Structure 1
Amino acid sequence: MTAMTQARQPVEMEGIYSSAPVKGATTILQGALTVMEAGLAIPGKTGLNLTTLGVCDRTVKNAGADGAEKVLAKRTVAKFFNLGADAILPGDVGKDCYIVDDQTVAKTNGTNTRSVAGKIIQVDSDGVFVRVGY
């Protein structure tokens, strides 16, 4: 492409949602922490090199091949369960937390076995608010 020579109307989107192909034979439940692994969306899990998309907007069941269905994942601040064995504390606000599964986060990377979920925003007695998908 060459540089612009006249004004143009840019094509924009709000950027709250990401749409991604879902791994075959995979179900991602509404409200699940959703990640990318090897170019395909899956529910959050313990693993390395996962990229957090956000929270699944609606349940998606992909009974077919890889990419036969797509998921909408919302970038947001959402509440997740706090892993008691590796608990996030109020003093951890502003730090990264790590994915345990599609509804649970932990304070540490589990000796390099967990990927980053997002930034800790608030810690309550019944869970942790995490900014995900940014």
Structure 2
Amino acid sequence: MTALTTDRNTPRHDGELRHGLVAAASLIYAGSIVLRAADGYLHEGHTATGLVGVGRAEARVDNRLGADGDEDLTYRPGIFRFANSAGADGITFADVGELAFVVDDQTVAKTDGTTTRSPAGIIDGVDANGVWVRFDEALTKAS
């Protein structure tokens, strides 16, 4: 490309809402944890490895009968409260700043369940109603 010689209307993406293609056999409920696999397709939160948390689903998408990419999902990165695991996997205030791991589409845990769980995001806070998790795919991968 050559240098500009006039004003340019440069496209902008604010990053508040993001879109991705949904994996085959996935049912993602609005408000649930969304994960991305190494192949780029989005999944509902569940116990598995090789995935990373990307955000909260903004709508329900059912691709249980479709192939990879047949459905598109809008999701939002940010800080959201999800259910806390119990017992030794329960997250406490002392865990703020550490990784939270995905148990299911609404629950996070302190550990990777002996290498059976993928990271959801960074623990931002804990209260009586659950765990606040920061969903930032790049930050979580870097951690």
TM-score normalised by structure 1 residue count: 0.89
Distance in 1 (alpha carbons) for counterparts of 2:26 and 2:111 = 27
Distance in 2 (alpha carbons) for counterparts of 1:59 and 1:125 = 27
Paired residue for 1:46? 47
- The CA deviation at 1:51 is 2.0
- Determine which of 109, 122, 126 is the counterpart of 1:123: 126
Residue 114 of structure 1: SS of its match in structure 2? coil
Paired residue for 1:61? 62
Distance in 1 (alpha carbons) for counterparts of 2:33 and 2:135 = 8
The number of residues matched between the two structures is: 132
- The CA deviation at 1:94 is 1.5
Q: What are the within-5 Å matches in structure 2 for residues 50-89 of structure 1? A: 50-62=51-63, 63-85=65-87, 86-89=89-92
CA contact (8 A) 2:112 2:119 kept: yes
- The CA deviation at 1:132 is 1.1
Single out whichever of 105-114 and 69-78 deviates more from structure 2.
105-114
Give aligned-pair identity as a percent: 36
TM-score normalised by structure 2 residue count: 0.84
Distance in 2 (alpha carbons) for counterparts of 1:46 and 1:133 = 19
- The CA deviation at 1:74 is 0.5
Structure 1 regions of 5+ residues with no counterpart? none
Runs of 4+ in 1 over 6 A off after TM superposition: none
